[in-house]
């Protein structure tokens, strides 16, 4: 058909006609498992996309209302409803691939790279998407109030960023191959960049955004290389085919693959891990997450606590069969997780900014999740992801409410007695419950159930030292969590004068907008309590956190979900049939409940002593410690163990110096000395040959003529030369 060729190429529609000559193209599209009428799953991605586009339209058309927020909430809420519907309709015994469109599909001879844009719906995907879209909706609702002083273009930008995030997170979690996961992976990184740098006039926010993206990119290189090797060795990036290869005979198959492939295969899990450690802020990449707190608090809650940072855990659970490609892979994950958990907890103990405390606590809790994956308990890891998503969201959102109400005040040495202030009841008590969860308070807190699984599995997996580190961290966690709550919410009742003194110096949105001053002025003097949206969201997420207790215990719903997914190998891996007369200490799953509870309660008791009953003791203790030989340790903890400084000195500065040195080399040596030097050569020759000519043009003409002669000579001489050379050889 004349005139339609180019169009058919652009639309990739030529494929139908083309496929007949090159039959191999069509063969690489995923073996269409029965989609069972689940084609509408694409809506989960389409809805945030629509929200994103609409927010862009609002920004351009100058909308100055809360319309962006309501649009986003509506789209995300609908996406949640779709996910819920998918969960109810899908048969989680059988993963389903829903092909959407062709993305990358190349083939030649027998090789092919195929990354169709399809959705892989299994229990793990649905589990993740349920809390991602659910929390996304609720936090967008919270943000509608939290961000209200920015109504205007910035408001559109904020909700546009949230929509991009949900879109990318959807690709990451629902994609049916590693390349689509990578698409989402980088996409959430960009969303995170835009949202951390939301207050773009603040240099610290811009720097934090940049740091987050760059540090993540280091991990991403690992992930990318892991993907290359996976493709090279397995010939496919699609989960359904990969798992088929890896799980043909269970673990044996993977081990054999590794044997056959040599180091290039054995290294795959380590490369994937690097990606996971970057995105989930583990050692050695965790440094970006605390700085990411520069973003607005709803962003911290959604992206940097509940959802995006769990992407690394998702990746490892999703590719769990690949962890078996090297025997040291799982232990590495476990130790990195354990070390991160402890390190971050020690830093969290010594911070005064409550949002930073929560940031380090997120790093620390993510460490637990990796410890869970590493000790072959994908169930424990996923359970902790699930419970943590809710209670940590509450903690951040309450911090946000305080920050919002107190004009940016986050210092726990300044804030106090919130319990007694009118209008803060929901904030105070949801924060209390979430703190119980983080501290692992027995029975009634969700964190208790999920953290215990990981700790018990660490012992059951034969890693008592790691388990011990986990227990120690649990104690520290309980301490620093309640240090915050006791300091901020308890204490003597503040009067109006005290409250005014507590106010921070942050003027919400004043950088961008001058209107609405009447209200702002009031804000600057007295704290204002949160309104309905914030209180509603806090209540709902807290209820969800309570509800999650019903889902996470062993043999419950969540374990079932994980057991039906690619993480199945990590469910019950450490369970051994114990003899009936085995003692109490033989089964860690039994005694851990008591030991972990005791440790948690101990941490809370110390916090209560130092920060509730005897507040001056905390200062005295600090003074004593600073006078003792432990001084260096305390200082180091307060200064985050100087890790940022270390990286700066070891990596960033040397690179910067190299950059400058190479630039100098490029300019002065390569360009001026070598190139210009060579350029002057004919000029000098020209000058000696014809001293009368000294104009620039003449010398260049001479040089050109010289060049031409040289070339002509070469052409004449070269054949002879080559003959000579050929003869010699």
Which position among 658, 684, 689, 690 is part of the footprint of another protein (CB under 8 A)?
Answer: 658
Q: Does 225 bind another protein (CB under 8 A)?
A: yes
Stretch that binds another protein, among 10-18, 33-41, 332-340, 411-419 (CB under 8 A): 10-18
Q: Calculate the alpha carbon distances from 101 to 17, 30, 152, 175, 334 in Å.
A: 18, 11, 36, 12, 38
Q: Does 708 bind another protein (CB under 8 A)?
A: yes
DSSP class per residue in 499-520: HHHH--S--TTTTT----HHHH
Residue from 99, 153, 284, 331 binding another protein (CB under 8 A): 153
| CA of residue 36 relative to chain centroid, distance | 32
Interface residues for another protein in 171-200 (CB under 8 A)?
179, 182-183, 186-187, 190, 193, 197, 200
Binding of residue 3 to another protein (CB under 8 A): yes
> Would you call 254 exposed, middle or buried from its count of C-beta atoms within 10 A (0-12, 13-18, 19+)?
buried
* Residue 214 or 623 with smaller CB distance to another protein: 214
Give least dist CB 153 to another protein, A. Answer: 7
Strands (E), 149-277: 248-250
Please identify which residue in 23, 37, 109, 579 interacts with another protein, judged by CB under 8 A: 109
Minimum CB–partner distance for residue 96 and another protein (Å): 23
Residue 715 is a binding residue for another protein (CB under 8 A):
yes
Task: Name, in order, each residue with C-beta under 8 angstroms of 65's C-beta and a sequence gap of 6 or more.
Answer: 151
Q: Which is nearer to another protein, 207 or 602 (CB)?
A: 207
Report the site for another protein in 20-59 (rule: CB under 8 A). 21-22, 25, 59
Residue 117: Cβ-neighbour burial (10 angstroms; 0-12, 13-18, 19+): buried
Of 49, 67, 87, 217, the one binding another protein by CB under 8 A: 217
264-303 mask for another protein (x: CB under 8 A)?
x---------------------------------------
Residue nearer to another protein on the CB measure, 178 or 431: 178
In the block, which residue shows the tokens 């209670």?
Answer: 391
Closest to another protein by CB, 443 or 725: 725
332 binds another protein (CB under 8 A): no
For residues 143 and 299, give the distance between their C-alpha atoms in angstroms, rounded to a whole number.
9
Residue 691 near another protein by CB under 8 A = no
Range in contact with another protein (rule: CB under 8 A) among 17-25, 124-132, 540-548, 595-603: 17-25
DSSP-assigned letters across all residues of 589-652: HHHHHHHHHHHHHHHHHHHHIIIII-THHHHHHHHHHHHSTTHHHHHHHHTGGGHHHHHIIIII
Asked if 6 touches another protein (CB under 8 A), the answer is yes
Contact with another protein (CB under 8 A) among 8, 332, 597, 598:
8
Identity of the residue, 505 or 521, whose beta carbon is nearer to another protein in the bound complex: 505
Closest by Cα among 505, 295, 258, 306 to 406: 505
Within 13 Å and on the Cβ side, how many CA atoms surround 504? 18
Output the six-digit token pair for 232: 């090279």
Q: Is 106 in the site for another protein (CB under 8 A)?
A: yes
CA pair distance 303, 316, nearest whole angstrom = 19
Q: Does the footprint of another protein cover residue 718 (CB under 8 A)?
A: yes
Q: How many residues bind another protein (CB under 8 A)?
A: 86
Does residue 726 bind another protein (CB under 8 A)? yes
Element at 680 (helix H, strand E): helix 677-689
Q: Which is nearer to another protein, 228 or 432 (CB)?
A: 228
Q: How far is the CB of 189 from another protein (least distance, A)?
A: 8
Please tell me the distance from the alpha carbon of residue 391 to that of residue 399, in angstroms, as a whole number: 12
CB nearer to another protein: pick between 218 and 573: 218
Among 2, 88, 632, 692, binds another protein (CB under 8 A): 2
Q: Does 155 bind another protein (CB under 8 A)?
A: no
Instruction: Point out which span in 2-10, 380-388, 477-485, 554-562 binds another protein (CB under 8 A).
Output: 2-10
CA trace torsion 671, 674, 678, 681 (10° rounding) = 110
Is residue 108 involved in binding another protein (CB under 8 A)?
yes
705 interacts with another protein by CB under 8 A: no
User: Alpha carbon of 362 to those of 300, 543, 658: distances in Å?
Assistant: 10, 21, 35
Burial environment of residue 622 by CB neighbours within 10 A (0 to 12, 13 to 18, 19 or more): middle
Q: Which of 57, 130, 218, 643 binds another protein (CB under 8 A)?
A: 218
Residue 692 touches another protein, criterion: CB under 8 A: no
Both tokens of residue 466? Answer: 């790691």
Minimum distance from residue 292 beta carbon to another protein (Å): 14
Beta-bridge mates of residue 207: none
Q: Which of 252, 655, 681, 689 binds another protein (CB under 8 A)?
A: 655
**163 belongs to the binding site for another protein (CB under 8 A):** no
Instruction: Write out the binding residues for another protein, residues 75-104 only, by CB under 8 A.
Output: 101-104
Read off φ and ψ for residue 103, nearest 5 degrees: -105, -80
Footprint of another protein on residues 522-581 (CB under 8 A)? none
Indicate the DSSP class of residue 578. P
Counting contacts by CB under 8 A, is residue 650 touching another protein?
no
Of 605 and 712, nearer to another protein (C-beta) is 712
Contacts of 292 (CB under 8 A, 6+ apart): 192, 196, 208, 212, 300, 304, 359
User: Distance (Å, rounded) from C-alpha 156 to C-alpha 153?
Assistant: 5
By beta-carbon proximity to another protein, the closer residue of 59 and 344 is 59
Per CB under 8 A, 666 contacts another protein: yes
Query: 669-688: which residues touch another protein (CB under 8 A)?
Result: 670-671, 675, 679
Distance CA(655)–CA(646), nearest Å, equals 14
């Amino acid at each position: 058909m004349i005139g339609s060729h180019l169009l058919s190429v652009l639309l990739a529609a030529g494929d139908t006609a083309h496929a007949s000559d090159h039959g191999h193209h069509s063969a690489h599209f995923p073996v269409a498992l029965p989609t069972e009428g689940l084609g509408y799953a694409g809506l989960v991605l389409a809805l945030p996309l629509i929200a994103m586009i609409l927010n862009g339209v609002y920004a351009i058309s100058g909308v100055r209302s809360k319309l962006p927020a309501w649009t986003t909430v509506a789209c995300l809420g609908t996406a949640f409803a779709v996910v819920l519907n998918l969960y109810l309709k899908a048969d989680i015994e059988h993963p389903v691939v829903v092909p959407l469109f062709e993305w990358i599909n190349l083939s030649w001879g027998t090789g092919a790279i195929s990354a169709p844009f399809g959705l892989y719906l299994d229990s793990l995907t649905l589990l993740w998407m349920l809390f991602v879209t659910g929390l996304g909706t609720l936090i967008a609702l919270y943000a509608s109030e939290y961000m209200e002083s920015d109504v205007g273009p910035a408001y559109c930008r904020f909700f546009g960023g949230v929509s991009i995030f949900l879109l990318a997170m959807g690709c990451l979690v629902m994609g049916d191959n590693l390349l689509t996961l990578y698409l989402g992976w980088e996409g959430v990184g960009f969303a995170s960049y835009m949202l951390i740098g939301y207050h773009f006039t603040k240099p610290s926010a811009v720097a934090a955004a940049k740091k987050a993206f760059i540090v993540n990119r280091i991990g991403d290189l690992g992930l990318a290389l892991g993907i290359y090797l996976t493709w090279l060795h397995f010939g496919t990036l699609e989960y359904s085919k990969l798992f088929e290869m890896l799980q043909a005979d269970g673990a044996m198959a993977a081990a054999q693959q590794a044997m056959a492939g040599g180091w290039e295969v054995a290294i795959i899990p380590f490369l994937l891990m690097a990606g996971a450690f970057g995105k989930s802020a583990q050692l050695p990449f965790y440094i970006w997450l605390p700085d990411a707190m520069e973003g607005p608090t709803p962003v911290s809650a959604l992206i940097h606590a509940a959802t995006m940072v769990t992407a690394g855990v998702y990746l490892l659970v999703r590719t769990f069969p690949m962890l078996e490609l090297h025997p040291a892979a799982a232990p590495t994950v476990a130790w990195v997780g354990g070390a991160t958990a402890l390190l971050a907890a020690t830093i969290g103990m010594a911070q005064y900014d409550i949002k930073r405390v929560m940031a380090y606590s997120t790093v620390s809790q993510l460490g637990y999740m990796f410890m869970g994956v590493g000790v072959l308990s994908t169930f424990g890891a996923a359970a902790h992801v699930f419970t943590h998503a809710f209670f940590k969201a509450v903690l951040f959102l309450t911090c946000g409410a305080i920050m919002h109400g107190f004009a940016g005040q986050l210092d726990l040495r300044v804030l106090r007695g919130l319990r007694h202030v009118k209008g803060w009841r929901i904030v105070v008590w949801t924060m209390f419950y979430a703190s119980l969860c983080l501290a692992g308070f027995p029975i009634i807190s969700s964190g208790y159930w999920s953290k215990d699984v990981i700790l018990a599995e660490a012992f059951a997996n034969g890693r008592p030292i790691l388990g011990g580190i986990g227990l120690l961290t649990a104690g520290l966690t309980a301490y620093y969590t309640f240090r915050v709550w006791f300091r901020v919410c308890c204490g003597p009742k503040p009067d109006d004068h005290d409250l005014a003194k507590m106010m921070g110096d942050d003027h919400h949105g004043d950088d961008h907008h001058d209107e609405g001053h009447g209200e702002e002025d009031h804000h600057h003097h007295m704290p204002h309590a949160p309104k309905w949206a914030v209180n509603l969201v806090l209540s709902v997420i807290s209820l969800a956190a309570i509800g999650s207790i019903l889902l996470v215990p062993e043999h419950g719903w969540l374990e079932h979900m994980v057991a039906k997914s690619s993480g199945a190998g990590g469910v019950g891996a450490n369970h051994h049939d114990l003899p009936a007369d085995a003692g109490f200490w033989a089964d860690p799953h039994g005694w851990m409940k008591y030991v972990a509870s005791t440790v948690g309660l101990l941490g809370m008791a110390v916090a209560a002593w130092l920060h509730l009953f005897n507040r001056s003791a905390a200062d005295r203790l600090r003074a004593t410690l600073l006078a003792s030989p432990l001084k260096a340790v305390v200082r180091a903890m307060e200064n985050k163990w100087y890790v940022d400084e270390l990286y700066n000195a070891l990596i960033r500065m040397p690179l910067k110096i190299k950059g400058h040195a190479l630039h100098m080399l490029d300019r002065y040596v390569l360009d001026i000395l070598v190139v210009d030097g060579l350029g002057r050569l004919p000029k000098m020759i020209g000058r000696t040959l014809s001293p009368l000519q000294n104009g620039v043009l003449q010398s260049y003409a001479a040089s050109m003529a010289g060049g031409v002669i040289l070339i002509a000579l070469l052409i004449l001489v070269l054949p002879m030369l080559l003959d000579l050379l050929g003869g010699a050889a």
